[in-house]
C-alpha cells in the first residue's frame, strides 16, 4: 500500500492489511459507517431468519405431529385390518368345520336310515310271510325261546312264560297276532317307542328286553317275567275294598310317574297291562309302546278291542299326554271302587262317545274317593291331577283305611284264601 493512507474502498477490498496501514478522515468515516451499516443489515437479516426459522420449526413440529397421528392411525388401521382378517378367517374355519360336521352327521344319519330301512324291510318281509301258527307249550319259538305255559291270551296276542335258552332266564314272551302286523308307519313308531321304553329303568315298569320278528313272521316282545297276576284277574271278583283300591291305584300312579318323568306315555293303561307282583314293588306296568301298533282308526275302535279305558283325547284321535294315562287310571279306580265301569256302553262306538261326552255314573263310594276319581275322569286333560300328587293322595287314603303296603301287601294279595275276602265287600 505504500505511505499514503488507504481509501475506504481499498480497506474494504483488502484481504490483508500491513502493520503500517492507515485509514483516516472521510475514508475512515466511510469505512466506519459501512461496517456499521453491514452490522445493522446483518441484525435485521438475523431477526428475519430467526422469525422464519421459528415458523419453520413450528410448521415442522406440526407436520411431525400430523405424521405421528397418521402413523398411529395407520398402525391402528393395520391392527384393525389384521384383527378383522383373523376374525373372518376364524369364522370361515368355523363355518367350514360346521359344514363338515353337518356333512358327517348327514352321512351318519344316512347310514342309520339305510340300516334301519334294511331292518324294517327285513321285518316287513318276515311279517308278510307271517302265519297264524298255533303255538303251544314245549315249542321252541324264534329258535331261542322255549315256551313253558300260557299266561294269558287276548285281542293282541298270546303271552307265554318261556325260557330264554341263551341265558336260561325266565321271560314273558308276548307273541302278537298276525293281523297286528301293521303298516310301515305304525311299525316304525312301535319299534321307536319300544326302543324308548326299553331304556326305562324303574322296578315298577316291566322292561321289554327285545322286540323282533320271528322267521315265521310273528312280531314278538320279550319282557321280564314277573311272578304274579294281572289286575284284570283281581277285578273279575268285583269291587275291591276302598283301602286296597287306593293302595293299588297309588302303585299304578307311582309307576306312571316313573314313566312320565322319563317322557314316556303308556297310552294303553288297562287292568291287563298292570301286574300285581308277588314281591315289591307290587304294582308294575306292562306293554309300553304297544299302542303304537294300533290302527289310527280309533273312532271305530276295531283294532283296539274294547276301548273302555281310552281317554277323551284318544277317543277324538288327538295326541296323548301323561294326563291321558291318568284318565285311564281313573277308569280303573272307578271300576275297583264301584265294581263296574263308569259308562253304560256296549259297543266300541258307544264307548268312544261316552269318553268324549258323557258324565260318569254317580258313585256310591265315600265322597273323598268319589271326588278324587271324578278328578281323574275330567274331560279336559289340564284338570286331571298329576301322577305323583295322585299317588301321594291315594297312599294317604290307603293308610287312613289301614291297607297294607309293600311286601305285606304282596304277600296278602297272593294268599288264595284271602283273595276273595279282600276283594269283595
Known catalytic residues?
A: 268
Alpha carbons 55 and 227: distance in angstroms, whole number: 110
- According to DSSP, the residues that pair with 274 across neighbouring strands are 285
Say if CB 259 and CB 253 are below 8 A apart: no
**H or E segment and range at residue 228:** strand 228-230
**Which residue lies nearer to another protein by CB, 36 or 79?**
36
Stretch that binds another protein, among 29-37, 330-338, 360-368, 411-419 (CB under 8 A): 29-37
Stretch that binds another protein, among 20-28, 37-45, 75-83, 262-270 (CB under 8 A): 37-45
In the complex, the smallest distance separating the C-beta of residue 37 from another protein, rounded to whole angstroms, is 3
User: First-to-last CA distance in the chain?
Assistant: 166
Alpha carbons 342 and 331: distance in angstroms, whole number: 7
User: Which among 314, 318, 311, 366 has a CA at the least distance from the CA of 342?
Assistant: 311
In the complex, the smallest distance separating the C-beta of residue 56 from another protein, rounded to whole angstroms, is 9
Can you say how many angstroms the Cα of residue 297 is from the centroid of all Cα atoms in its chain? 29
Label residues 310-331 b or e (16+ Cβ within 10 Å = b): bbbbbbeeeebbbbbbbbbbbb
In the complex, the smallest distance separating the C-beta of residue 52 from another protein, rounded to whole angstroms, is 7
Side by side, the strands of the sheet bearing 283-285 are 228-230, 274-277, 283-285
In the complex, the smallest distance separating the C-beta of residue 51 from another protein, rounded to whole angstroms, is 4
Stretch that binds another protein, among 35-43, 109-117, 258-266, 411-419 (CB under 8 A): 35-43
Answer yes or no whether residue 10 interacts with another protein by CB under 8 A: no
Stretch that binds another protein, among 26-34, 155-163, 226-234, 253-261 (CB under 8 A): 26-34
# residues near another protein by CB under 8 A: 17
Cell numbers for 115, please give them: 340300516
User: Which among 335, 327, 329 has a CA at the least distance from the CA of 365?
Assistant: 335
CB atoms within 10 A of CB 67: 11
Cell numbers for 385, please give them: 291331577
In the complex, the smallest distance separating the C-beta of residue 23 from another protein, rounded to whole angstroms, is 15
CB atoms within 10 A of CB 161: 17
Cell numbers for 61, please give them: 413440529
**Which residue lies nearer to another protein by CB, 49 or 364?**
49
Stretch that binds another protein, among 40-48, 134-142, 377-385, 395-403 (CB under 8 A): 40-48
Among 14, 17, 18, 40, binds another protein (CB under 8 A): 40
Among 5, 10, 22, 30, binds another protein (CB under 8 A): 30
**Which residue lies nearer to another protein by CB, 65 or 106?**
65
Alpha carbons 220 and 212: distance in angstroms, whole number: 6
**Which residue lies nearer to another protein by CB, 47 or 82?**
47
Among 17, 33, 153, 389, binds another protein (CB under 8 A): 33
β-bridge pairing 157-164 and 145-153: antiparallel
Residues between 46 and 85 with contacts to another protein, criterion CB under 8 A: 47-48, 50-52, 54-55, 58-59
Can you say how many angstroms the Cα of residue 148 is from the centroid of all Cα atoms in its chain? 41
In the complex, the smallest distance separating the C-beta of residue 70 from another protein, rounded to whole angstroms, is 21
**Which residue lies nearer to another protein by CB, 30 or 189?**
30
**Which residue lies nearer to another protein by CB, 57 or 169?**
57
**Which residue lies nearer to another protein by CB, 57 or 183?**
57
Say if CB 151 and CB 160 are below 8 A apart: yes
Query: If you write DSSP's letter for every residue of 349-388 in order, what string do you get?
Result: HHHHHHHHHPPPPPP-S-HHHHHHHHHHT-SSGGGSPPHH
In the complex, the smallest distance separating the C-beta of residue 74 from another protein, rounded to whole angstroms, is 26
Among 9, 17, 37, 115, binds another protein (CB under 8 A): 37
Interaction site with another protein (CB under 8 A): 29-30, 33-34, 36-37, 40, 44, 47-48, 50-52, 54-55, 58-59
Amino acid at each position: 500500500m505504500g505511505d499514503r493512507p488507504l481509501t475506504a474502498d481499498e480497506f474494504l477490498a483488502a484481504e490483508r492489511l500491513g502493520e503500517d496501514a492507515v485509514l483516516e478522515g472521510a475514508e475512515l468515516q466511510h469505512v466506519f459507517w459501512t461496517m456499521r451499516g453491514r452490522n445493522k443489515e446483518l441484525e435485521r437479516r438475523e431477526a428475519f431468519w430467526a422469525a422464519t426459522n421459528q415458523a419453520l420449526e413450528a410448521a415442522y413440529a406440526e407436520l411431525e405431529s400430523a405424521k405421528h397421528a397418521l402413523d398411529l392411525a395407520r398402525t391402528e388401521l393395520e391392527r384393525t385390518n389384521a384383527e378383522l382378517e383373523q376374525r373372518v378367517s376364524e369364522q370361515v374355519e368355523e363355518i367350514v368345520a360346521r359344514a363338515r360336521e353337518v356333512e358327517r352327521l348327514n352321512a351318519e344319519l344316512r347310514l342309520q336310515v339305510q340300516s334301519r330301512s334294511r331292518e324294517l324291510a327285513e321285518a316287513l318281509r318276515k311279517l308278510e310271510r307271517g302265519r297264524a301258527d298255533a303255538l303251544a307249550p314245549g315249542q321252541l319259538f324264534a329258535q331261542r325261546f322255549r315256551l313253558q305255559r300260557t299266561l294269558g291270551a287276548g285281542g293282541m296276542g298270546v303271552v307265554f312264560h318261556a325260557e330264554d335258552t341263551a341265558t336260561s332266564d325266565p321271560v314273558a314272551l308276548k307273541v302278537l297276532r298276525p293281523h297286528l302286523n301293521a303298516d310301515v308307519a305304525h311299525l316304525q313308531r312301535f319299534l321307536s317307542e319300544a326302543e324308548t321304553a326299553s331304556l326305562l329303568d324303574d322296578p315298577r315298569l316291566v322292561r321289554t328286553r327285545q322286540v323282533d320278528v320271528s322267521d315265521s313272521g310273528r312280531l314278538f316282545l320279550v319282557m321280564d317275567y314277573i311272578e304274579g297276576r294281572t289286575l284284570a284277574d283281581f277285578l273279575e271278583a268285583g269291587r275291591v275294598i276302598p283301602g286296597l283300591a287306593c293302595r293299588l291305584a297309588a302303585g299304578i300312579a307311582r309307576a306312571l310317574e316313573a314313566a312320565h318323568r322319563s317322557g314316556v306315555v303308556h297310552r294303553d293303561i288297562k287292568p291287563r297291562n298292570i301286574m300285581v307282583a308277588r314281591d315289591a314293588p307290587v304294582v308294575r306296568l306292562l306293554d309300553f309302546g304297544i299302542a303304537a301298533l294300533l290302527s289310527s282308526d280309533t273312532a271305530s275302535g276295531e283294532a283296539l278291542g274294547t276301548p273302555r279305558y281310552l281317554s277323551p283325547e284318544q277317543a277324538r284321535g288327538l295326541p296323548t299326554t301323561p294326563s291321558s294315562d291318568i284318565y285311564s287310571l281313573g277308569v280303573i279306580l272307578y271300576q275297583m271302587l264301584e265294581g263296574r265301569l263308569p259308562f253304560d256302553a256296549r259297543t266300541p262306538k258307544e264307548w268312544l262317545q261316552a269318553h268324549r261326552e258323557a258324565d260318569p255314573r254317580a258313585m256310591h263310594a265315600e265322597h273323598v274317593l268319589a271326588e278324587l276319581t271324578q278328578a281323574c275322569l275330567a274331560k279336559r286333560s289340564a284338570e286331571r291331577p298329576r301322577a305323583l300328587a295322585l299317588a301321594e293322595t291315594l297312599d294317604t287314603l290307603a293308610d287312613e283305611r289301614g291297607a297294607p303296603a309293600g311286601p305285606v301287601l304282596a304277600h296278602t294279595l297272593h294268599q288264595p284264601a284271602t283273595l276273595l275276602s279282600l276283594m269283595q265287600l
